[in-house]
């Protein structure tokens, strides 16, 4: 089953060994997000890994929402996660699952643990429980409630479920070993009281299972063969196995850990991302500057570019930090090959071609893509007045400047060579217009006098174009590690992460742009129609990424 063109990662080796030995007959994985926020680039790796392995080995992958904490969960997050998974190009098997689907079974199994003397109701307060738990160097102490009788524990647990206790008054813990070197095994809590409405079960429950108790059992109920998670759950694996061994579960899944995806110039803590949203630093979870999958989609990143990036980072058991430029490289690589071309003048300056007849109109042609014959040819209106970018003209310049200069020639992309004669200024001295001449018979060829143009600039017809707004997005943080060492990441927010240009001039071929794909605005970068704010009468484009990396220069 292996792909001989590429070495297997360690999880693929495990799967192939398990299939070959007969331990499993069919691979079954799962992606189990918490619906308490939008998914980010780190989750993209887990999605690609779990769904990708299922596809490669002709197995299946479940989507299961770990909805054990109703206070922080919302149906909005459920819907956004479903969209993210499908947008990345994956589909879960069968119906969507929720941990809450198993609440009744988990409750019955908890009662079974109590009856076997393996679980007890503990009245220690959260602060007292932390004190009793000990530390990495000191063993914990048994709770004074650890030896309650089975009958008393059953009665108290039923009262917990009935809502007779306040939140924090007590919890249900499993009886393992308070001196265990792994602190996860020191009588962990499996039920706590939370009097909160649940987005799936309503007010049926006021006690909710812990993640560690619910997760492995959800895997077992669904017949998951390989429960793949990130390295921070490695110390939880003995507890995962303890529950599997001590409960009458229908199958025995195994947990495997890989290194999480950490990217510099980024924060991925949901708490910190929520703070950015709540304090109005960004417009929402799907703001194009956010490292969320929804934000990257809104910005114009493509599913393929994210999948390629994730694959390039590898699957290992060693934590590290990936440079965000590696993600940006994947985006540029995909868009360079697949984005249609267009011209848009972001900072327009009018050019009047004095020797071109006022009533004359021409239509120039341009390729939809320089290397793709399957892209439709573009038709570009041309007239006496055009717009060029203000940065493409100077009255005087040195030899390194390859654009329009007084007395010099430059080619208009896919059109004539022109020569600048005069700069018209307003009372403040700002240039408001350039007067130039068309060099005849230079469309598609050089002038007969042999004087070549110094460079090529983009342009848009001044009388036949589309007015649009362009939002120039950049990295959200100026520091490589915004929250390192406990520092306030908010102090690293980039004040230049968004610039809005409202007077941009776009070629007519994009009067009705395709909203599914980004475009390359020639010489400017890659841009994507803003799917939230753009309207047919007021087009808005988000800059996905520049043509080249400017942060290291």
pLDDT in tens, 275-298: 999 999 999 999 999 999 999 999
User: Residues 68, 135: one domain?
Assistant: yes
**Residue 183 and residue 204 in contact, taking contact as beta carbons nearer than 8 Å:** no
Burial bucket for residue 134 (CB in 10 Å: 0-12, 13-18, 19+)? middle
User: Residues 146, 218: one domain?
Assistant: yes
Examine the fold and report which residue of 258, 278, 298 is the final residue of a domain before the chain moves on: 258
Examine the fold and report which residue of 394, 424, 458 is the final residue of a domain before the chain moves on: 458
Please name which of 300, 393, 308, 310 lies closest in space to residue 345, comparing C-alpha atoms. Answer: 393
Structural domain count of the chain: 3
Backbone angles phi, psi at 362, to 5 degrees: -130, 165
Query: Starting from the edge strand earliest in sequence, which strands make up the sheet with 456-457, in order?
Result: 456-457, 409-412, 417-425, 431-439, 348-353, 385-389, 460-461
Active site residues per annotation: 34, 260, 270
Q: Each residue's pLDDT tens digit in the chain (553 positions)?
A: 444 578 999 999 999 999 999 999 999 999 999 999 999 999 999 999 999 999 999 999 999 999 999 999 999 999 999 999 999 999 999 999 999 999 999 999 999 999 999 999 999 999 999 999 999 999 999 999 999 999 999 999 999 999 999 999 999 999 999 999 999 999 999 999 999 999 999 999 999 999 999 999 999 999 999 999 999 999 999 999 999 999 999 999 999 999 999 999 999 999 999 999 999 999 999 999 999 999 999 999 999 999 999 999 999 999 899 999 999 999 999 999 999 999 999 999 999 999 999 999 999 999 999 999 999 999 999 999 999 999 999 999 998 999 999 999 999 999 999 999 999 999 999 999 999 999 999 998 888 777 789 899 999 999 999 999 999 999 999 999 999 988 999 999 999 999 999 999 999 999 999 999 999 999 999 999 999 999 999 999 999 999 988 766 4
**Is 487 among the domain residues?**
yes
Question: For 60, which DSSP code?
Answer: E
User: Residues 51, 108: one domain?
Assistant: yes
pTM of the model: 0.93
Give, in order, the Cα–Cα distances in Å from 525 to each of 179, 475, 540.
59, 15, 15
C-alpha–C-alpha distance, residues 249 and 135, integer Å: 32
**Is 281 among the domain residues?**
yes
User: Residues 29, 123: one domain?
Assistant: yes
Name the strand (E) or helix (H) holding 153: helix 150-162
C-alpha–C-alpha distance, residues 252 and 241, integer Å: 9
**Is 37 among the domain residues?**
yes
User: Residues 122, 145: one domain?
Assistant: yes
Containing structural domain, residue 371? 344-458
User: Residues 59, 168: one domain?
Assistant: yes
Residues contacting residue 422 through CB under 8 Å, at least 6 positions apart = 406, 434, 435
**Residue 347 and residue 426 in contact, taking contact as beta carbons nearer than 8 Å:** no
User: Residues 112, 218: one domain?
Assistant: yes
Sequence-separated contacts (24+) of 15-18 with Cβ below 8 Å: 15/53, 15/57, 15/226, 18/225, 18/226
Residue 331: Cβ within 10 Å count: 23
User: Residues 174, 219: one domain?
Assistant: yes
C-alpha–C-alpha distance, residues 553 and 544, integer Å: 19
C-alpha–C-alpha distance, residues 226 and 173, integer Å: 27
Examine the fold and report which residue of 458, 478, 499 is the final residue of a domain before the chain moves on: 458
User: Residues 286, 388: one domain?
Assistant: no
């Amino acid at each position: 089953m292996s792909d001989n063109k590429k070495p297997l990662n360690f999880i693929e080796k495990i799967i192939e060994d398990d299939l070959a030995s007969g331990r499993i007959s069919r691979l079954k994985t799962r992606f189990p997000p918490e619906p308490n926020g939008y998914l980010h680039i780190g989750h993209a790796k887990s999605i690609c890994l779990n769904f990708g392995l299922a596809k490669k080995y002709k197995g299946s992958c479940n989507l299961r929402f770990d909805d054990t904490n109703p206070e922080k969960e919302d149906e909005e997050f459920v819907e956004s996660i479903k969209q993210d998974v499908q947008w990345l190009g994956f589909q879960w098997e069968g119906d969507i699952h929720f941990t809450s689907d198993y609440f009744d079974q988990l409750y019955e199994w908890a009662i079974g643990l109590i009856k076997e003397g393996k679980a007890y109701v503990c009245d220690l307060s959260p602060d007292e429980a932390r004190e009793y738990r000990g530390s990495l160097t000191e063993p914990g102490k048994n709770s004074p409630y650890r030896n309650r009788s089975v009958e008393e524990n059953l009665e108290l647990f039923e009262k917990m479920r009935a809502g007779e206790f306040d939140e924090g008054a007590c919890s249900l813990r499993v009886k393992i070993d308070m001196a265990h070197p792994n602190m996860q095994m020191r009588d962990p809590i499996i039920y706590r009281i939370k009097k909160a409405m649940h987005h799936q079960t309503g007010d049926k429950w006021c006690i909710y299972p812990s993640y560690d108790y619910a997760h492995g059992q959800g895997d077992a109920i669904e017949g998951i063969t390989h429960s793949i998670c990130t390295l921070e759950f490695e110390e939880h694996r003995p507890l995962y196995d303890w529950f599997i061994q001590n409960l009458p579960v229908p199958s025995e899944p195994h947990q495997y850990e890989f290194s999480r995806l950490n990217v510099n110039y980024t924060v991925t803590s949901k708490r910190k991302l929520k703070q950015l949203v709540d304090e109005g630093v960004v417009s929402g979870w799907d703001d194009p500057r956010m490292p969320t999958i929804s934000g990257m989609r809104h910005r114009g990143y493509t599913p393929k570019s994210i999948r390629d990036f994730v694959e390039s980072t590898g699957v290992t058991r060693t934590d590290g930090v990936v440079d965000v430029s590696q993600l940006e490289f994947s985006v540029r690589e995909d868009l360079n090959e697949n984005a249609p071309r267009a011209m848009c003048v972001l900072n327009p300056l009018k050019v009047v071609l004095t020797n071109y007849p006022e009533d004359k109109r021409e239509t120039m042609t341009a390729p939809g893509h320089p290397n793709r014959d399957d892209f439709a040819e573009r038709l570009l209106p041309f007239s006496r007045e055009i717009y060029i970018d203000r940065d493409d003209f100077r009255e005087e310049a040195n030899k390194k400047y390859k654009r329009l200069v007084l007395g010099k020639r430059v080619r208009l992309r896919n059109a004539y060579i022109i020569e600048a004669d005069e700069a018209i200024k307003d009372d403040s001295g700002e240039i408001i217009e350039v007067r130039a001449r068309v060099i005849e018979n230079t469309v598609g060829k050089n002038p007969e006098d042999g004087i070549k143009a110094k460079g090529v600039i983009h342009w848009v017809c001044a009388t036949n174009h589309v007015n649009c707004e362009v939002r120039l997005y950049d990295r959200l943080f100026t520091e490589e590690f915004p929250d390192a060492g406990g520092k306030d990441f908010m102090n690293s927010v980039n004040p230049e992460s968004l610039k809005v240009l409202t007077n941009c001039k776009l070629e007519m071929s994009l009067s009705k742009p395709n909203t599914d794909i980004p475009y390359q605005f020639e010489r400017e970068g890659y841009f994507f129609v803003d799917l939230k704010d753009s309207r047919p009468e007021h087009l808005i484009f988000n800059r996905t990424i520049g043509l080249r990396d400017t942060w290291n220069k």
